[in-house]
């Protein structure tokens, strides 16, 4: 009996290690669905799907949450160029981020509220459960950071 008990414990321990490795692997990349949180109000803003294409990250809005006291726009009225009056749902707002050590840098982020495009960088935190996304002008010190929460 002791051999069976040891074998069972070994199998359970091995299974636990394998499952934790799989979970860790899923959170080691920003790819997936993220809930953006407004850095001023703390309210959820949107669901954004991040995918990797040709070595760079790209984020597209999948859903927008109504904001208390604000009109919800269905299109990007303030955007310029090809994004002018484009539907918010399906709008690509994050482009060009590339892995740079522990961060992702060299990207751009579009703010659909004002149509402005900012330089961006991002970093996974809390074991990959959160993504700090910073939009800035010129230098990262001149910007703002949002924390996005992994949904899948």
Mean pLDDT, rounded, of the chain: 87
- Residues of the chain with pLDDT > 70, as a percent, come to 83
Look up residue 38 and give its two tokens: 């407004």
* pLDDT tens digits along 99-144: 999 999 999 999 999 999 999 999 999 999 999 999 999 988 999 9
The average pLDDT across 91-95 equals 98
- Residues of the chain with pLDDT > 90, as a percent, come to 73
If DSSP codes are grouped into helix, strand and coil, which group holds residue 108? Answer: strand
Whether the model clears a pTM of 0.75, i.e. scores above it, the answer is yes
- 8 Å CB contact between 146 and 93: no
The average pLDDT across 49-59 equals 97
* pLDDT tens digits along 9-28: 554 444 444 444 444 445 89
**44: CB partners within 8 A, 6+ apart:** 35, 36, 37, 38, 65
Give the DSSP letter of residue 130.
E
């Amino acid at each position: 009996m002791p051999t069976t008990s040891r074998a069972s414990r070994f199998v359970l321990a091995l299974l636990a290690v394998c499952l934790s490795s799989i979970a860790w692997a899923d959170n080691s990349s920003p790819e997936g669905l993220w809930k953006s949180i407004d850095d001023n109000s703390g309210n959820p803003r949107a669901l954004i799907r991040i995918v990797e294409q040709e070595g760079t990250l790209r984020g597209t809005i999948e859903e927008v949450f109504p904001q208390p006291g604000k009109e919800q726009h269905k299109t990007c009225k303030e955007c310029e160029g090809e994004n002018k009056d484009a539907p918010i749902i399906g709008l690509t707002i994050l482009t060009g981020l590339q892995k740079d050590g522990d961060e992702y840098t060299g990207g751009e982020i579009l703010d659909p509220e004002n149509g402005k495009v900012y330089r961006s960088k991002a970093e996974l935190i809390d074991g990959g459960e959160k993504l700090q996304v910073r939009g800035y002008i010129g230098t990262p010190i001149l910007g703002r950071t949002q924390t996005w929460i992994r949904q899948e």
